[in-house]
Structure 1
């Protein structure tokens, strides 16, 4: 127990409860939900496990100190008091990022610069030498977070954002973030017990995340590096043991994951990414225009997709969304269809009543994740069948 410490996992708005559930399932202690973050307690091995195994986390931070700050000089003095030599050698390299929500401190880059000066000046005084700054591959990445007058200084254990899983080499216009894709699938309640479809699959992200969820494959197995691998207490044997324990929990998947896209180049990119992720035995992609298709067979189908919002593509959005509704209604009985959009005006033209609406953000765009339940036969007949 003495080796446990507090950590903070950052996530997207609307995914906090999903992330808390993931953390509990992995074995985290003292899980507390915040806004766009969840705090928890665990040891070093659990920090490795969280980075490897969480689908909806963007970063795992290890807080070092929290204190009140009233001025830039105050920040400098308090950051300088931290024993940085415990975490980094004077010949190592450093990067700092800052986020600020404060009327006193308004410029995050300046806060990062001031914190860097404090760390470097401490090294000069204590060691007579200072670490270099390396924004791309630092030995230590420090996160400074100021909320009004409360400053938290953390070590960033992840490095590059955890949405960069490592399987994507090719993307299209407006690709969906991997963490967002995983969260949408989890919010949709898909459990791998039916066929799955993405009818506008782009570069394949939604299907790949769905396959990893179905097979319980850790999402970040393919990443080249985590920031903690450069820490002074890096334990490669422990990491490999954690990796092995997660891999033992993978499971078989006995259904199909299908993707359509009407762009041949998107199909090729998706196929490349699926192959990179070693998931081609589960995922089949076809060059098809969704609006000209219909469902094959009468088994239940679970659909999740990310249609164009009109932000970067010049198409008639009202007609496009009306066509989504028509295709679902006439071509896809026995389907639960979920999709995300920020085009709330076009959404009104789908012509179907959603059974769920969840507010989310896709990057900075306020969006809705909507669910449409397509019944085989009429809804009334379905209800009578359930009641009898």
Structure 2
């Protein structure tokens, strides 16, 4: 008799991460690859974080601090949020999974937009919940649609802000009005993985809402802006009751010592942060100008990537780009076949990507 697996997993597909550079080199027999497909911080790692890692070697025989006390204290000082409102995980991926465990019972509903980060839908299915998908007109955030989708089975609403893969955002006033209309027994999870890249004056100051709404859970990560994707660390800010439940279901020692110390050091590296923000803002502007000159429709982004309509098959275009050593993300993976998502890179890489992309589009137009 074969092993019986959970019914809720039958239609679940495994998460598909970005390709590894070495795999691309091997597959296409090329020596150089520009990878702007995973929304990584292509400007590198904070020098202070690297120094902290090199200095951490004499106590790795000990288990890590299960409460990440030094990091908790540092964030509390910087953000003005009480220490008891923080929870740390092995990246936002883990925290999203833990939230689904404490919020969703079999058959419960979660509300999620049609075009957004796919892991929200996955963790709902893994926990036996049901995804209620809210459509978006012209890929705009649909807060009213999410409110209209609430039923007596709704337990959680997942929101990515700025949204991935579109890069557009919900404003402070829009979020405030939305939160005021959501019943307080329904958790609202705001994933702010790309918030540090947003320079908009009306971007939500979510920490102002934490004390007002016990059902609000805010996620941040060190993988994007702080360039620590390879070391895996993220955090949640929430009501202490939520933090208490998360500690019940988390794996012991889930955030390693190296990650904790690198994160503290990265928070202290103001110079690196300023460089990343400036370079990213300039890179976004470069792509916007290039797309306007080409006549391509794009979505203005507040993140470290940009989504553009190339009026062609994204799978076909991205395959041709891979042959030329350029890796960007085909929109077909998000259900947007005529779009591609390009992470913001270094100046020389951005130029190369645009030149190669436009050359491929020119070739396809002549066929």
Q: Same fold (TM over 0.5)?
A: no
Structure with the larger RCO, 1 or 2 (CA within 8 Å, 6+ apart): 2
Could you say which structure has the higher strand fraction?
1
Q: For the pair shown, which has the larger CA radius of gyration, 1 or 2? A: 1
TM-score by length of 1: 0.29
